[in-house]
């Protein structure tokens, strides 16, 4: 009977603690002061020659998750994770996006990695045993299957 009371007390404490004051969330804009962000004389004056902040164009269906990779290729910025890829020009304007997640011939199951072919300005997605090519605006071009070695 004492063990039953012990479990009941633990359950009540767990419920009380889990229901206490939920964390508040805000949608405040984060302001960055470049002068306070980094002082090249304190942090690598030999390899930092300039700092530039680029405001990315946003749309209601654009969401950059915490696990996103960011790659600068020529004048383009590629920002993506396993679910999507967002493409921006050097001024932060949206060029296109890849969100065709699925099992169809023009879709991808997930994005293992991505890059830009500079000569053709085509996006390359690597997923599973496929390599898919898309235009900068997100239009499907072709997909190649990579066979397993015997």
**pLDDT, tens digit, 9 for 90 and up, residues 68-118:** 888 989 999 999 888 889 999 999 999 988 888 888 888 888 888 999 998
pLDDT over threshold 60, residue 127: yes
pLDDT of residue 32: 61
**pLDDT, tens digit, 9 for 90 and up, residues 14-35:** 666 555 555 555 555 566 666 6
DSSP 60-112: TT----TT-EEEEETTEEEEE-SS-EEEEETTS-EEEEE--BSSSTT-BS--S
pLDDT of residue 139: 92
pLDDT of residue 132: 92
Nearest C-alpha neighbor of 68 from the set 84, 52, 49:
84
**Collapsing DSSP states into helix, strand and coil, what is residue 16?**
helix
Could you give the percent of the chain with pLDDT greater than 70? 67
pTM for the full predicted model: 0.65
The mean pLDDT value for 26-48 works out to 59
**Per-residue confidence at 59, pLDDT binned at 50, 70, 90?**
confident
């Amino acid at each position: 009977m004492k063990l039953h009371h012990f479990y009941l007390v633990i359950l009540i404490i767990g419920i009380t603690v889990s229901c206490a004051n939920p964390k508040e969330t805000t949608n405040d804009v984060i302001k960055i002061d470049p002068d306070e962000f980094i002082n090249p004389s304190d942090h690598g004056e030999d390899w930092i020659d300039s700092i530039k902040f680029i405001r990315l164009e946003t749309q209601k269906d654009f969401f950059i998750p915490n696990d996103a990779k960011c790659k600068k290729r020529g004048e383009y910025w590629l920002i993506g994770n396993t679910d999507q890829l967002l493409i921006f020009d050097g001024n932060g304007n949206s060029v296109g996006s890849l969100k065709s997640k699925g099992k169809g011939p023009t879709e991808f199951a997930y994005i293992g990695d991505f890059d830009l072919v500079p000569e053709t300005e085509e996006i390359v997605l690597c997923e599973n045993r496929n390599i898919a090519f898309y235009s900068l605006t997100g239009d499907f071009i072709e997909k190649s299957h990579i066979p397993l070695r015997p």
